Amino acid sequence: MSQPPVEQKSSRRSANRRALEQKILDAAEIIFAEQGFNGAALESIAEKAGLSKQNMLYYFPSKESLYQNVLKDILDLWIEKMTLMEQNGDTPAVMLENYIRGKLEISRVRPYGSKIFANEVIGGASHLQVYLRNDLLPQLEADLELVRTWIANGEMDPVDPEHLFFTIWASTQTYADFSSQISLALGKNELDEEDFQKAGDFLTHVLLKGLGLKKD
């Protein structure tokens, strides 16, 4: 019986390693969100991932390394998926609506990641300074310039672009960061997909109208 080529074996090992590393990151995301960086124990993360602590440390040699990778994982997703200038649509209204709903979708599917980010920023963002400066801020500046262009062309009301993004971030991430409070106010055990759809409908209506835009 012929053996698989060396390249195929190597590719399979790499895929298995990536899958295991993602499993560890997913478990760590939950534990860090629930217990914070200082309160999270490596033993708890390993147990959540279904591994021994020693085995987990082979892939991530310290809690600091694991935490940094969890932060990078969620921020890379935000930058990849949540860039205004890369949203589908040929009008500011469509692009902004897609941006708002996309931010809400990340809050729905990655609530723990959002909570970790919020806790890190509240704590002074000591683990995020380099990433924010080198990756997030340049992307934000590109999006701000797009909004400034829309304003200069008379395509939307003249508003402060920075505070527009601050408002979108705050209003969408609150459905992850304060999901327990919102669920309680709605008389539910947890938020479901319909709640996020209603939130998107409301936020796009209010924000677009406030910007002098109409949905197509």
Give the model confidence (pLDDT) of 171-203 as tens digits.
999 999 999 999 999 999 999 999 999 999 999
| Euclidean distance between CA atoms 134 and 65, whole angstroms | 19
Q: What percent of the chain has pLDDT over 70?
A: 95
Across the chain, mean pLDDT equals 90
Q: Which residues contact 131 (CB under 8 A, 6 or more apart)?
A: 71, 72, 75
Q: Is the pLDDT of residue 15 over 90?
A: no
Q: Identify residue 207 by its one-letter amino acid code.
A: L
Q: Which residues contact 104 (CB under 8 A, 6 or more apart)?
A: 172, 175, 196, 199, 200, 203
What average pLDDT does range 4-16 have in this prediction?
69
Q: What is the mean pLDDT of residues 68-73?
A: 90
In sequence order, the 6+-apart residues with CB closer than 8 A to the CB of 31 are: 40, 41, 44, 45, 48
Task: Give the tens place of pLDDT for each residue, 127-154.
Answer: 888 888 888 888 899 999 999 999 999 9
DSSP output for the chain: -PPPPHHHHHHHHHHHHHHHHHHHHHHHHHHHHHHHHHH--HHHHHHHHTS-HHHHHHHS-SHHHHHHHHHHHHHHHHHHH--GGGSS-SSHHHHHHHHHHHHHHHHHH-HHHHHHHHHHHHTT-TTTHHHIIIIIHHHHHHHHHHHHHHHHTTSS----HHHHHHHHHHHHHHHHHTHHHHHHHTT-SS--HHHHHHHHHHHHHHHHHHTT----
Find out whether 207 and 167 touch, Cβ atoms under 8 Å: yes
Q: pLDDT grade, residue 159 (50/70/90)?
A: very high
pLDDT at 13 over 90: no
Both tokens assigned to 44: 């708890």
Residue 11 is predicted with a pLDDT of 73
Whether the Cβ atoms of residue 117 and residue 103 lie closer than 8 Å to each other: no
Mean pLDDT of 94-102: 94
